[in-house]
Amino acid sequence: MKTLDERLHVVEKHVKDDEITIMIMGLGSVGTYLLDFLVSKNDPAIKLVVVGRNHEKMQSDVNIVRVASLIRELNKSQIHIEGGVDLNDIDAIEKAISKYNPDFIVNSSRAYPGLKYGSISWNNVRAYGIWTPLSIKFTKNIMDACDKADTDAVVINTSYSDAVIPWLKSAGKAYPDFGSGNLNHLIPRMKFAVADILGVDDFWNVDFNFAAAHFHDVCISKEGQTEGVELPLKIYYRGEEKDIPHDDIFKACSISMPVDQKRNMMNASSNYRIISAVIDAIRTGENQKVFAPGVFGHIGGYPVLIGYKDDKISAWIDESVFSFDEMDKANRESLALDGVEDIRDAKLIYTDDLIRKVKDAFGEDLPKEVEYDDIEKTAEFLIEKIITPQL
């Protein structure tokens, strides 16, 4: 695939020409929420394409989004439906990409739809990394199709990007540019917490420099603590740094949330923010800040700036406060607590602790290493031996 900067240059032209095409792969709950959010942007420059197997189901979901948004008088987008596309079929995916030439592709698919994997793993093994082979299953197919189509799209992945994107990169494969979710679910909680601590109402004026991987999104959100890991964090209010004990902020982040598919509003919102950040950076010329897991193929989550460098649209990790090495160290510690020891040489390496926990909880032997070529086999093992007996 072309470099991200090369593709952003093409997207820039389409944004300036008011001809923006956004493709959503998989119209489950994340995809449907995202479709709703994008339609509600009320931007006639945006054309939307939804891709998946079941045309009839997607048509029904598209209809409710179109009608509901027009009731609010927030619908100026055309929506196209590309059915009959099995995400196991790389050629079918490639044809859909080549047909529409999207500026953005969002992979919102899941290999095992309708199940929150964490509902099984957190209470049993306290680690989400076990599911990495499942999370990468469709992502690798979509990226192979993107490579074959030589797409100019910016690609966003929704499923466990902290590990999935680095795994693809380590295997020498095409990989998504940004991950969504994870770290993004924690940042708003932290904004609310800081505003409460400071006694102010304008929580939107709270900002951070912060890096952490998926485990700490879950651990802090559920339990209000970091498991003893010191995370790189600076707090700002109206641009002024604030000295607030980090543990006080994290403790206040443990708030009640739905555990069903309504949670996917957050993931969809994260995708929406990344897309909007690219568009807004081009339209306004101002840098936009997002938080993204797996960005540029790195383990964990990072603060990222999207904007202009030397008059060219680009994206880069924000190292103005913390160095990459400082953030990488914290991310690797976080991912290890999630059961992933390392990702290198096209291999996912589980921690010994996770292997022991899986044996104790499920009576099954998790392999120490998963080769890239064994992804399908391991995904089937996880479904057959771990997921199915729990249902």
Q: Residue 282: its pLDDT value, please?
A: 98
Confidence band of 93 (pLDDT split at 50, 70, 90): very high
Provide the β-strand partners of residue 164. none
Rounded-to-integer distance, Cα 9 and Cα 278, Å: 11
Tokens 């449907």 locate to 32
Q: Residue 119: its pLDDT value, please?
A: 83
Q: Residue 374: its pLDDT value, please?
A: 98
Q: Residue 276: its pLDDT value, please?
A: 98
Are the C-beta atoms of residues 277 and 268 closer than 8 Å to each other?
no
pLDDT digits (tens, 9 = 90+) for 331-390: 999 999 999 999 999 999 999 999 999 999 999 999 999 999 999 999 999 999 999 999
Rounded-to-integer distance, Cα 297 and Cα 6, Å: 17
pLDDT digits (tens, 9 = 90+) for 5-54: 999 999 999 999 999 999 999 999 999 999 999 999 999 999 999 999 99
Q: Residue 46: its pLDDT value, please?
A: 98
User: Pairing relation of β-strands 206-210 and 233-237?
Assistant: antiparallel
Write out the two tokens for 390: 């729990």
Are the C-beta atoms of residues 135 and 164 closer than 8 Å to each other?
yes
Average pLDDT over residues 295-307: 98
Average pLDDT over residues 217-235: 96
Tokens 């160095």 locate to 323
User: Pairing relation of β-strands 104-107 and 154-157?
Assistant: parallel
Confidence band of 110 (pLDDT split at 50, 70, 90): confident
Cα–Cα distances in angstroms (integers) from residue 182 to residues 127, 142, 283, 335, in the given order = 14, 21, 27, 12
DSSP H or E segment with residue 62: helix 55-71
Confidence band of 174 (pLDDT split at 50, 70, 90): very high
Rounded-to-integer distance, Cα 221 and Cα 256, Å: 9
pLDDT digits (tens, 9 = 90+) for 277-290: 999 999 999 999 99
Q: Residue 117: its pLDDT value, please?
A: 82
309: three-class secondary structure by DSSP: strand
Give the global pTM: 0.97
Cα–Cα distances in angstroms (integers) from residue 24 to residues 33, 157, 239, 356, in the given order = 11, 10, 35, 38
pLDDT digits (tens, 9 = 90+) for 114-153: 777 888 999 999 999 999 999 999 999 999 999 999 999 9
Q: Residue 353: its pLDDT value, please?
A: 98
Q: Residue 329: its pLDDT value, please?
A: 97
307: three-class secondary structure by DSSP: strand
Q: Residue 116: its pLDDT value, please?
A: 77
Confidence band of 259 (pLDDT split at 50, 70, 90): confident
User: What b/e string do you get for 87-101 counting C-beta neighbours within 10 Å, with b at 16 or more?
Assistant: beebebbbbbbeebe
Give Cα 176 to chain centroid, integer Å: 10
End-to-end CA distance of the chain: 40
Mean pLDDT of the chain: 96
The amino acid occupying position 383 is I
pLDDT digits (tens, 9 = 90+) for 192-214: 999 999 999 999 999 999 999 99
Angle between helices 214-223 and 118-125 (to 10 degrees): 80
